[in-house]
Amino acid sequence: MSPVGSTDVAPYDALLLVSFGGPERPEDVLPFLENVTGGRGIPRERLEEVGEHYFRFGGRSPINDLNRLLLESIGTDLRDHGIYIPVYWGNRNWDPYLSDAVSLMQSQGVTRAACFVTSAYSSYSSCRQYREDLAAAGRHGGPQLDRLRSYYNHPGFLDPTVDSVAAAVIDRPGARLVFVTHSIPESMNAGSGPRGGAYLAQHRNAAAYVAEGVAAVTGHEHALDLVFCSRSGPPEVPWLEPDVNDHLEKLAGDGVGSVVLVPIGFVSDHMEVVYDLDTEALATARRLGLDAMRVPTPGTDPRFVAMVRDLLAERAAVERGEQTDRVAVGGDPPCWDLCPTGCCPNPRGDRPAVGGVA
């Protein structure tokens, strides 16, 4: 059995970091938002309203700089463990685009790349849409692209959060743990995963694991909630609720005095975190007189970076036909390598996608 952390990553000769992308100058903001919402009929006034979130931070999203740090950390970790393959980076919605990354890999002779997506959960927007964009980026040729499995229940993703929350509640033994993720339409959740409902179920599993880990470290159990942020759809379409701000209002009304915001749905402190939580939600908490703090995302925690290497080595062993360790915590089994037919369907119709069952 190949051990997790093996230095043999054949048949892969490259790793591709796949992310969402974000604007880096004020003049990029509206074109970026148009890329993100293309074909969805979002009024320009709404785009301008969302654009103000970015202008509050100088018209620059944190996400690309965070990806540069992650890219460097992954490359260093691979080399430190005897894995000498190039690491590339491509975004869905802004420069550097996935199509450019695939073209660069092709020009440099890469034949097969493992793709690590900076999104841990199953749904159309958090999984299949990335798979579709990878397929589109490679439609004119280039290396074979294999998406590494989802990792919402991998200890490299969750254990850094356990430690962060445990540190946050040392002086808050009665704090409520408010786990926050990106809202999606209820219909998208219903279609997520092989049997539906995976997006919500996976988040609940992750939140329960973190809460149990915090109790084990601190000796105190904390009540928990799963709430949502960043809703962007029309009001007549049901999305997952409650909104984090609405929920803080309820907690304050119920007499809760202290909350710890846990951005369980995100891998780095990008715009949804620094605006929706650090700006809006913490302002709501201050107005309500709630003691509140937000814990960091995994970011470049060494355990999260090492997880990327583990997933790469694991998938490489699978592709070589070897048995391998597949790490998972929290009760759910490890996620699948190839998505079944009908998993996380595109609400606007089928499109080619990498990493699915033929």
Question: What local confidence, expressed as pLDDT, does residue 227 receive?
Answer: 98
Question: What local confidence, expressed as pLDDT, does residue 357 receive?
Answer: 85
Whole-number mean pLDDT of the chain? 95
Backbone angles phi, psi at 228, to 5 degrees: -135, 160
Per-residue pLDDT, averaged over 50-72, amounts to 96
H-state helical runs in 221-301 = 244-253, 271, 282-288
**How far is Cα 285 from Cα 237, in angstroms, rounded to an integer?**
27
Question: What local confidence, expressed as pLDDT, does residue 46 receive?
Answer: 83
In order of start, what are the domains of the chain with their CATH numbers?
Answer: 14-151+301-319 (3.40.50.1400), 155-294 (3.40.50.1400)
- pLDDT for 280-300, tens place per residue? 999 999 999 999 999 999 999
* Pair of tokens at residue 106: 């092709």
3-class state of residue 300 by DSSP: coil
**How far is Cα 214 from Cα 210, in angstroms, rounded to an integer?**
6
Q: What is the maximum span of the chain, computed from C-alpha positions, in angstroms? A: 61
Q: State whether the Cα torsion 90-93-97-98 is positive or negative.
A: positive
Where does the pLDDT of residue 234 fall: very low under 50, low under 70, confident under 90, or very high at 90 and above?
Answer: confident
In angstroms, the Cα distances linking 218 to 42, 158, 165, 215, 301 are 46, 17, 10, 5, 21
* Pair of tokens at residue 123: 């749904």
Q: Which helix (H) or strand (E) is 134 found in, with range?
A: helix 129-137
pLDDT exceeds 60 at position 228: yes
User: Strand pairing partners for 144?
Assistant: 112
pLDDT-wise least confident of 33-37, 59-63, 318-322: 33-37
pLDDT exceeds 90 at position 210: yes
Question: What local confidence, expressed as pLDDT, does residue 44 receive?
Answer: 85
In angstroms, the Cα distances linking 191 to 10, 187, 194, 226, 238 are 34, 6, 8, 19, 14
Where does the pLDDT of residue 74 fall: very low under 50, low under 70, confident under 90, or very high at 90 and above?
Answer: very high
- pLDDT for 141-176, tens place per residue? 999 999 999 999 999 999 999 999 999 999 898 999
Where does the pLDDT of residue 134 fall: very low under 50, low under 70, confident under 90, or very high at 90 and above?
Answer: very high
pLDDT above 70 coverage of the chain, percent? 97
The three-point CA angle 332-133-45 to 5° equals: 100
Amino acid at 159: D
**How far is Cα 103 from Cα 5, in angstroms, rounded to an integer?**
29
* Pair of tokens at residue 227: 């709430």
- pLDDT for 243-278, tens place per residue? 999 999 999 999 999 999 999 999 999 999 999 999
Specify whether the CB–CB gap between 7 and 83 falls below 8 A: yes
Per-residue pLDDT, averaged over 229-253, amounts to 94
- pLDDT for 298-336, tens place per residue? 999 999 999 999 999 999 999 999 999 999 999 999 999
**How far is Cα 21 from Cα 24, in angstroms, rounded to an integer?**
9
Per-residue pLDDT, averaged over 75-95, amounts to 97
Question: What local confidence, expressed as pLDDT, does residue 5 receive?
Answer: 56
Question: What local confidence, expressed as pLDDT, does residue 252 receive?
Answer: 98
Question: What local confidence, expressed as pLDDT, does residue 358 receive?
Answer: 57
- Reply yes or no: is the peptide bond before residue 96 cis, omega within 30 of 0: yes
Task: Report yes or no on whether pTM surpasses 0.85.
Answer: yes
**How far is Cα 88 from Cα 105, in angstroms, rounded to an integer?**
8
pLDDT above 90 coverage of the chain, percent? 91
pLDDT exceeds 70 at position 4: no
Question: What local confidence, expressed as pLDDT, does residue 1 receive?
Answer: 61
Per-residue pLDDT, averaged over 124-149, amounts to 97
In angstroms, the Cα distances linking 171 to 166, 167, 174, 260, 339 are 10, 8, 9, 11, 43
H-state helical runs in 138-296 = 155-168, 186-190, 198-218, 244-253, 271, 282-288
